[in-house]
Structure 1
């Protein structure tokens, strides 16, 4: 099977390329023609491909001339649409990084293009494949919790600006922490509740107290790993938020979508849910499979992950599918569009200070 990776812009792109290179029976080819637009210090393009040990071509045209069976779109959020439409034009299945797009118009066009071309459009929500989520899903769908009343979710992480500066560019990213982190939990709840339940109203508040003007934070200076961080500058997008979503089954969910982990935290971030049902309360930690310890040489705590590789589980599901009718599947374009609309409604609510009904 031939799989192409379109762009190294996203922080997960290198991981996808390396993962595909290690998968038996998969040939991988990468292309990153916009690498020149990245600021100094960000490793992209042929240089990154060489370090990863994967083949690289200079243009997307060359990559599609190669005849891929599927492609992974890992460009900046606002640049997803032309690449997904290009894949659809070539009749190639496409897995797109989240969020699907930065506007509902672009997301709808991408879904329509793939539907008309008869190709699959998947959206990269790997947390669907967490064993912790599988246990929570079984508890809810098996009736153990009873009807869901409330969900409290947190998807926190480090400010991603030192790895990929475009994450704090509102035009390229579509926003800040709200756009980056709301959609993961919104997608989990979309999958959990199924087709019979939909989000109907969103209320959100955001701020930039940690990395705005006059804050003690700011964006680290450019440089691999963020070393030499004495030229901090403020971030214009929101870096913290709380989103409340009401569903038509009566459930209410809150989502902490903040970039609140300090630079030297031993992990990039995490995702946790606490779900309260009529008969039981269940909790999940999507990245709780870790061995904790202390590195005496570096004088710092360490957390070493083990267990399921969620990206690999997602990629295998997308490429090869499953015969298990009850198994979790990769989010499709429609699911990606629904989670995007929740994030966009969150921004509208934060601007107005009022709840926003989806569909209005």
Structure 2
């Protein structure tokens, strides 16, 4: 069987640190054959570094040379490139978030259905072994019916001072759409079939607009900072469950980083990071932790393997387009709720006010 030919569109940090190394480990199945970036000189440097033979001036020129692409561009261009590739008969792995709007997500999903090609979104937290373990527990019904979910994705003074992360036009937002989306996605995946019915959210960027602040991740211009650095949200689901979400790039917390998803059910509860199950049994309160769990320490390789095997028809996608679209739908509603100062309610067909 010939190798699947993969091209990368956008070859910044995430492409070089995560996707290229992962696909290179699958050399029996995959060959990285091409790259494209608007910075042509950087594309040449990366191609030379990783031994990639072809560099294209436009991403469209790449389509005749590849079977699949990985999109690592700013968020604004995800939908445009993905739809063009799918219509050209190319499989797509797109960096998160899926797109800036629920409308664009729907268009991407429809393009995938019409083409019959694979579309997956790189929510790599799902491939962490703790998350995989938590999913097994949830599928087994060990904590019963989920009632309350607490999601925290918090960093202390770590605004990304490189690239376009603080550019609202290109990225659509800040800490929520860049960082909080990962923990939001994995929590929704653990919950399974749940639909939001009402969302209220608040976004802040006061701290990052303050002059003379401390930031651990490079420099940025506070006067031009126009994205969120701190977001809170409360989500009610159709099955009666609720979620409390907090995410931040830049917060005055004691810890350097707080990352966790905690789910309380009617029979028990679980914490994802570190993984534990919490019960009340035999007249006692019991917390149990795994002494060993299967899985890779890093999620990069499992994510690449799943995408490749799905393209080859060997396994089911772990991150499906409709699931990634739900994440974007909720984030869009949080931003809208903060803008209008009230909750956003849903019907099946979309936002109703």
Q: TM (normalized to structure 2)?
A: 0.81
Q: Take 1:121 and 1:282, find their aligned partners in 2: how far apart are those partners?
A: 31
Q: Report the CA distance between 1:160 and its aligned residue.
A: 5.1
Q: Any conservation in 2 of the 1:127–1:286 contact (CA below 8 Å)?
A: no
Q: Which residue of 2 aligns with 1:313?
A: 302
Q: Any conservation in 2 of the 1:46–1:56 contact (CA below 8 Å)?
A: no
Alignment CA distance shift 1:160-1:278 (3 Å): same
Q: Any conservation in 2 of the 1:187–1:336 contact (CA below 8 Å)?
A: yes
Q: Take 1:169 and 1:13, find their aligned partners in 2: how far apart are those partners?
A: 19
Q: Report the CA distance between 1:236 and its aligned residue.
A: 1.8
Q: Any conservation in 2 of the 1:203–1:349 contact (CA below 8 Å)?
A: yes
Q: Any conservation in 2 of the 1:150–1:251 contact (CA below 8 Å)?
A: yes
Q: Take 2:73 and 2:201, find their aligned partners in 1: how far apart are those partners?
A: 27
Q: Take 1:322 and 1:88, find their aligned partners in 2: how far apart are those partners?
A: 13
Q: Take 1:114 and 1:278, find their aligned partners in 2: how far apart are those partners?
A: 38
Q: Which residue of 1 aligns with 2:6?
A: 3
Q: Report the CA distance between 1:172 and its aligned residue.
A: 0.5
Secondary structure of 2:226's match?
coil
Q: Which residue of 1 aligns with 2:55?
A: 57
1:201 aligns with 2:189: no
Q: Take 2:162 and 2:34, find their aligned partners in 1: how far apart are those partners?
A: 19
Alignment CA distance shift 1:200-1:333 (3 Å): same
Q: Which residue of 2 aligns with 1:170?
A: 168
Alignment CA distance shift 1:112-1:29 (3 Å): same
Q: Take 1:270 and 1:86, find their aligned partners in 2: how far apart are those partners?
A: 38
Secondary structure of 2:207's match?
coil
Q: Take 2:274 and 2:51, find their aligned partners in 1: how far apart are those partners?
A: 30
Q: Which residue of 2 aligns with 1:74?
A: 72
Alignment CA distance shift 1:19-1:139 (3 Å): closer
1:35 aligned to which of 13, 35, 39: 39
1:255 aligns with 2:245: yes
Alignment CA distance shift 1:2-1:334 (3 Å): same
Give the RMSD, CA atoms, in angstroms.
3.0
Q: Take 2:251 and 2:141, find their aligned partners in 1: how far apart are those partners?
A: 35
Q: Which residue of 2 aligns with 1:188?
A: 186
1:13 aligns with 2:1: no
Q: Take 1:77 and 1:333, find their aligned partners in 2: how far apart are those partners?
A: 16
Q: Which residue of 2 aligns with 1:83?
A: 81
Q: Which residue of 2 aligns with 1:332?
A: 320
Q: Take 1:114 and 1:308, find their aligned partners in 2: how far apart are those partners?
A: 31
Q: Which residue of 2 aligns with 1:23?
A: 26
Q: Report the CA distance between 1:287 and its aligned residue.
A: 10
Secondary structure of 2:79's match?
helix
Alignment CA distance shift 1:252-1:238 (3 Å): same
Q: TM (normalized to structure 1)?
A: 0.79
Q: Any conservation in 1 of the 2:102–2:329 contact (CA below 8 Å)?
A: yes
Q: Take 2:47 and 2:159, find their aligned partners in 1: how far apart are those partners?
A: 21
Q: Take 2:14 and 2:275, find their aligned partners in 1: how far apart are those partners?
A: 16
Q: Which residue of 2 aligns with 1:302?
A: none
User: Within 5 A, what are the aligned runs for 1:279-298?
Assistant: 279-285=267-273
Q: Report the CA distance between 1:191 and its aligned residue.
A: 2.0
Q: Which residue of 2 aligns with 1:291?
A: none
Q: Any conservation in 2 of the 1:190–1:198 contact (CA below 8 Å)?
A: no
User: Per-residue displacement from partner, 1:255-304 (whole Å, max 9, x unpaired)?
Assistant: 22211379xx98xx56311111112221111799xxxxxxxxxxxxxxxx
Q: Report the CA distance between 1:353 and its aligned residue.
A: 2.0
User: Within 5 A, what are the aligned runs for 1:265-304?
Assistant: 271-285=259-273
Q: Which residue of 1 aligns with 2:279?
A: none
